[in-house]
Structures are given as C-alpha cells and as structure tokens.
Amino acid sequence: MTASDRAIELLRLAARAADAKQADDLVALDVSEPLPLTDVFLLASGRNERNVLSIAEGIEDALLEIGVKPLRREGRSEGRWVLLDFGDIVVHVFHEEDRMYYALERLWRDCPVIPLELPAAREA
C-alpha cells in the first residue's frame, strides 16, 4: 500500500506552507503500510517555540484555505511539539531539541521517504 494521491497533495501544500514559515529539516514519510489511520507523516523543525507555533499556524491556514480542517491538534500551548492531524496526513512540528530527543525518523526508518518538491533552498 502507498500513500494516496490526496495525501500527497495535502503533504505538498503543508510542506510549502512550512517552508514559507522557515521550517527546517522537512521530511515526509509514507506510513500507510504500518498505520491504518493515516498515509503520511510530515516532520518539520522550528528554531524556537515562536517559530514552531508559526509553522503550525501556517500549515493549518494553508489547508483551511482548501477546506481541510484538522481533526485534532495537540501541543499548541507549549510550542515544543505541535501535532496536527488532518486524517490523510499527520504533521509533527518540533522544537529542534525535541525532534532530536524523540527521533521519529529513527522510529519510522523502514518507511519510504516522499520527495517534497519544494522551491529552491532559501538563502542563508
């Protein structure tokens, strides 16, 4: 089983929104095989709590513009790890330190990485 076309469409929109808010280290994983409830995880990092919240808000706003509402949100009060569940995709926006600690990429390392097709890298 592989991620649905709809999940890939939502993923790319969410990734562009995260990139526009200066998210770092964007990684998409096709988790459709081991997880029956979702197709894709999008992982992103923010440099601080404010950046994490901004990234999460940008993603949510972008998906709301096309009529996709989150089924669940968690972690917005702390700004360390925000989870946005849109059904087909689940977005994890981490503070850099928490991302290293929880290491979801390692946990889901057997899942295929999905290319994000983002615009050229931002200028440093």
Pairing mode, strands 24-30 and 81-85: unpaired
Residue 119 confidence (pLDDT): 78
pTM for this model (two decimals): 0.91
The residue among 123, 21, 42, 30 whose CA lies nearest residue 90 is 42
pLDDT at 77 over 50: yes
Separation in Å, CA 33 to CA 5, 10, 38, 85, 86 = 15, 18, 9, 18, 18
Q: Where are the alpha helices (DSSP H) in 21-121?
A: 49-65, 96-102, 104-107
pLDDT tens figures, 89-120: 999 999 999 999 999 989 999 999 999 988 76
pLDDT at 70 over 60: yes
For residue 107, how many other CB atoms are within 10 A of its CB? 10
Residue 120 confidence (pLDDT): 67
CA dihedral sign of residues 116, 63, 2, 41? positive
Question: Residue 121 — pLDDT band, cuts 50, 70, 90?
Answer: low
The residue among 39, 46, 45 whose CA lies nearest residue 12 is 39
* Structural domains of the chain ordered from first start: 5-107 (3.30.460.10)
Average pLDDT of the chain is 93
The kind and range of the H/E element at 26 are: strand 24-30
Are 70 and 25 in contact by the 8 Å Cβ rule? The answer is no
pLDDT at 1 over 70: no
Question: Residue 124 — pLDDT band, cuts 50, 70, 90?
Answer: very low
SS3 52: helix
Residue 72 confidence (pLDDT): 96
